[in-house]
Structure 1
C-alpha cells in the first residue's frame, strides 16, 4: 500500500474505499466493517449537507510503527465531530478531523478468505464479494453464539443456582449480535438499491420486500439514472434463484445495461447486447429484464422488454392499461425485445413497474394483474413515497408463493 488521499461526496463511495483499503491491508473482517461503519457515521452529516470529506491513509512503517493510519478530514464542517460510541474508537485530531490507528498484519497483507480474495474474473475483489464476506463472518458469529447459547442453557438446566442471572446475560449478548447482524444486512441492502433519482417533472419511489426476512437480498433488482440527454433510464431485473448468487447475477445485468445505455446503444438493442456481454463469463445466468426511458419534459415513454411482466399505466382519471411487449430475457433463446412500445405520460399519470413476486403470489398472473390495476387505481393519489409499499401491502394480503418483490412507481408531476 502507498500513502494516498481521496475525496468523497457520498457515503456509498466512502464505505467502498474503506472496505477495499482495509482488505488490501489484510485487516480482519470485523475490524473492516467496524472501521467502515465508524468513519461513515462520523462523515454522515457532512456528506448529507453536500460538503466533501477527505480520506487519508498511511501504511505501516515497521519496525517503528506497525499500524495502518486512517485520517478523516472535514475541512468545511462548522464544528468538531462527535466521536463517542463508535464501533471502532477514534482519536480526536485538532480541528474537524478523526483518526484511526489499526494494527496491521506483518510482514505482508493477506486475503482473509478465498471468498473475498479475488473476484470472479481473478482480479481484486469487488464490493459484493467484500460485503458477502462480512455477511458470512456475521452469520458464523451468530452460529457460534447460538451453539454457545444451547450449551449454557443445558448446563444451567442441571444446576439450581444463578439460572436467571446467566440467562438474562445470554439474552443480552444474543440481542447485541442480532443488532450488529441487522446493521450489516441493512448496509448490504442499501449498497445494492440506489435511492430515487431527483428529476424535475417526475416523482419516483420504490419498495423492496424479500421472500424471507432473514435473507434481505435476492435476484430482484432495479437501477435508475439520468442520461446525458436528460431522459431518465429505469431497469428492472428478476434473476433466477435466491440469495447472494442471484443478487450477483442481477447486479451483472444492471451494470451491463447501465454501461450500454451510457455508451449510447439504442434501447431496442440493449437486452440482446446485454446477453452477448454476460454470456462470456456467466453461463448459468437467466433473468427477465424491463427497460424504460422517460422524458421528464414532454412525458414521452419508451419501453423494451425481455420476458418480464408488463408495466401498468394508471391515467390521472383512473383508467388503466397494461403495457405489454413481447421479448425474451437474458440467458433465454434468442434474447431481446421484439419491438419498442411508445406512450406518453400526462400530468398525474402513474407508471407501475414490478417483479412477478407482486402479482403471482396467488398462482394466477392474470388475476394478479387485474388486482394490481384495482389496487394502483385506489392508491394513485397518495404521496409518491407511500404508493409502492401501499400497493405491495394490498397485493400480499394472501401469499401462496412467497417471492422477492420490487414495486417501483413513477408519476409525472409537471404541466
Structure 2
C-alpha cells in the first residue's frame, strides 16, 4: 500500500509528517528522531529554494502477512544528483539513493499484533498521530526524541566510564605483568651470565706459581651477554721444570668458538706432556683435530720458558707476535712465521730462541688487544707504549692496565686476552 503526501513547503511541515509516520508505526523514539533529522537535512536546500518536496510511505511485506519494513521515500522536483548529495552532511539515518536522486529509507518495523500497523496511515501518506496534530502533541513527540537522545548519551557516558575503568584495570594488570616479565628476564640474564662466568672461570686456569717467574692474565669478552669466546690460554709446568704457555684465538665468538679453542688447548697440553718437540706441536695438533672438526680455524702461540736460565722458545701459527720488554734495552716483537690450525700447511716454520733477564716482561695477547681501532700496526705501536707505562706495576695489575689503555677507543670490538710473564729482579 502506498500513500502520497501533499507537497511540503516548510521544514516544520515535513518534520511533522515524518514524525507522524514514525509514531503511527511505533518506530523506536531514537529511530524516529534519526529519520526526522535525515529527511529535514536532505530537504533543507530544496525548501530554502522554494521548491516543495513530497513524502511517501508504504509497508514492505515480509514472508507472511506481517509487514517487515516501513519504506519512506523523499521526492524532490529537482533530483538530488551525486554532486548535490556530496553537500549534504553525514546523516544520522543514511538512505539509499535511486539513480534519479530519490532518497529511500527502509526501516525495520517493531513486532505488531495481527500483522497490521497499530495505527492506520492517513490519506496524506503520513499517519494520524495519537492525540492529533496539535502543537502540544508535536512538542510531546520532540520531547520524547530529546529524552531518547539524552538517555542514549547517558548510556554512552556510563559505558565510556566503564570502559575507561576496565582499560585502567587492564593497563594496571599489563604493567604489573610487564614488570614481572622484566624482573624475570633480569633474573634469567643474571643466571645466564653467572653460569657463563663460572664456565669461563673453569676454562681459564689461574696463574701457576713457579719460582723465578711472575705471571698474570686479563680476559674480556666482546659482549657481556656471551662472556665465553674463542680466546683461551693454558699454562703448566712440565716435568723438566720448564713452563709451557699456550695462547689460542679460535675464529668466531660464543660457545662454539670456545669449544674449538678448548679442543686446541687440550690437544697442545697432551702433546706437550708427552714430550713432543715444541716446534712440531702446532702441526701435530692440526693433524689430530681437523679430521673431527673441518670448520675449525684457530691461531696458536706457544711459549716455553726455563725459569732457572731465562731461556725462552716460541712457536707460532698465524698468531700476533709476542712482545718482549727488556729491563735494559728496547722493546721488540718476537716474530715467528707459521700457519694456524685449519690453515694450509699448519705449523710453525721455526723455533725462536731468546733469553729473558731479571726485570724483563713478556706480553702474549690476542688480536682483540691491538686491533680495536682496525689498524694492527698502530695497535702494536700503542701496545709498546702501554707496556712501558705499566711494566713496573705489580704483575697482577699489568695485563688489565695494558688492556685499559689499549681500549680507550674501540672501533672493532673483539674478545681480548693479555697475558704477562716477568722475571723478578734479584
TM-score tier, shorter chain, comes to 0.5 to 0.7
1:326-384 CA deviation, whole Å, 9 max, x = no partner?
A: 11111111111111111111111100000001111112111111110010000101111
Residue pairs, 1:58-137, within 5 angstroms: none
- The equivalent of 1:204 in structure 2 is 215
Distance 1:156 1:334 in 2: 69
Q: Partner residue of 1:264? A: 275
C-alpha distance in 1 between matches for 2:285 and 2:257: 17
Q: Taking structure 1 as reference, are residues 166 and 344 closer, same or farther at Cα in structure 2, changes over 3 Å only?
A: same
How far is 1:222 from its partner?
0.6
Contact 1:318/1:377, CA 8 A, preserved across alignment: no
For residues 42-68 of structure 1, the C-alpha deviation after alignment (integer angstroms, 9 at most, x for no partner) is xxxxxxxxxxxxxxxxxxxxxxxxxxx
Matched-pair contact (CA < 8 Å) for 1:208–1:405? yes
> Contact 2:193–2:227 (CA<8 Å) still a contact in 1?
no
Give 1:226 shift. Answer: 0.6
- Equivalent residue for 1:340? 351
Aligned partners of 1:358 and 1:406 also within 8 Å: yes
CA distance in 2, matches of 1:226, 1:157: 68
Q: TM-score, normalised by structure 2?
A: 0.58
Equivalence for 1:37: none
2:316 aligns with 305
In 1, Cα distance between equivalents of 2:334 and 2:167: 63
Which whole-Å CA distance do the structure 2 matches of 1:343 and 1:182 have between them? Answer: 41
Match of 2:422 in 1: 411
* Matched position secondary structure for 1:241: strand
Q: Give the drift of 1:181.
A: 2.2
Q: 2:191 aligns with which of 163, 180, 191?
A: 180
Rate the CA distance shift 1:181–1:299 in 2: closer, same or farther, 3 A. Answer: same
TM-score computed with the length of structure 1 as normaliser: 0.60
Q: Larger Rg: 1 or 2?
A: 2
Mapped to 1, the partners of 2:237 and 2:304 lie a distance apart of: 10
Structure 2: state its 5+ residue gaps.
1-165
How many Å separate the matches in 1 of 2:371 and 2:253? Answer: 16
Q: Does the 8 Å CA contact 1:238/1:355 hold for their aligned counterparts?
A: yes
1:396 lines up with 2:407 in the alignment: yes
SS for the counterpart of 1:220 is strand
* Residue of structure 2 equivalent to 1:56: none
Q: Secondary structure at the match of 1:254?
A: helix
1:252 aligns with 2:259: no
- Superposed displacement of residue 386, structure 1: 0.8
Q: Which one of the candidate residues 246, 249, 252 is aligned to 1:235?
A: 246
Give 1:333-372 correspondences, 5 Å limit. Answer: 333-372=344-383
Aligned residues: 261
How far apart in 2 are the matches of 1:236 and 1:178?
29
Listed one character per residue, the Cα deviations across residues 123-156 of structure 1 (whole Å, up to 9, x for unaligned) are xxxxxxxxxxxxxxxxxxxxxxxxxxxxxxxx99
